[in-house]
Amino acid sequence: MGTDKVDPPRRRFRDKMREIRLNACDIATIFYTGILTGVIFVIVLRAYVTSRTTPNLYLRIVGVEGLDPGASSPPGHGAPPPAFHLAVDVSGVREGYTACVGGMHGWRSSLLRVSYHGMVLAWGIVPSFCIDGQRLRPGGGAASNVAAVYAVAAESAVLREEELHGMVRTEQHVTGKVDFDVEGHVAGLGYLKCKTPFFEGEHKSVVYSCGVYQLLEKCT
């Protein structure tokens, strides 16, 4: 007479515990894999954000032609039109940041204009230049004179030299400096808007950083 075989309770218990351990191992593996994936994602995201963070940009006026704020009298007839020597400085450059900007970008050039109380005085082309956070690391992510811009008066510019010179002299006498507005498109960077002071005598440290704005452009 045959009898049905029945597993002893101990064997059933061992099989159940083995199944629980296997499930626990699977859950632990999934859990730690998720943590590792999350850590890698955060590291990659931080590196990407760092590489895309625009550094602080400054424009310094290191020289002015045809519009000497310290002159005692306005320039005479036939004096050269205003021209500005601008230097580009940077700070806050992250180690992972690398960008080459300025110059030509497709059909559009990088162009800045210098104005004074709404009067456009000069235009200047921004040459191509590169900012490398790794190279700037010894300097704390800052550098001076990474690019130079020479802005000259446009041929079509109409300036009342005596009135302009008087305004510039008055502002410098009252405040000790003259503020010019410099703005325009820089390829690969965006639209810059800067308030750039020019001091009497030795040039002091930069006061204002430039605002950088991203403009939506149609694809060509």
pLDDT given at position 206 = 52
Radius of gyration, alpha carbons of the chain: 32
pLDDT score recorded for residue 218: 44
Half-sphere exposure at residue 199, Cβ-oriented, CA atoms within 13 angstroms: 8
Average the pLDDT over 180-192 and give the result. 91
Residue 125, helix vs strand vs coil? strand
**Neighbouring residues of 70: CB distance < 8 A, sequence distance ≥ 6:** 172, 200
Question: Rounded CA gap, 217 and 190, in Å?
Answer: 11
In sequence order, what are the beta bridge partners of 150? 85
Instruction: Convert the pLDDT of each residue in 133-144 to its tens digit.
Output: 888 888 888 888
Residue 126: is its pLDDT beyond 90? yes
Higher pLDDT, 9 or 152: 152
* pTM exceeds cut of 0.75: no
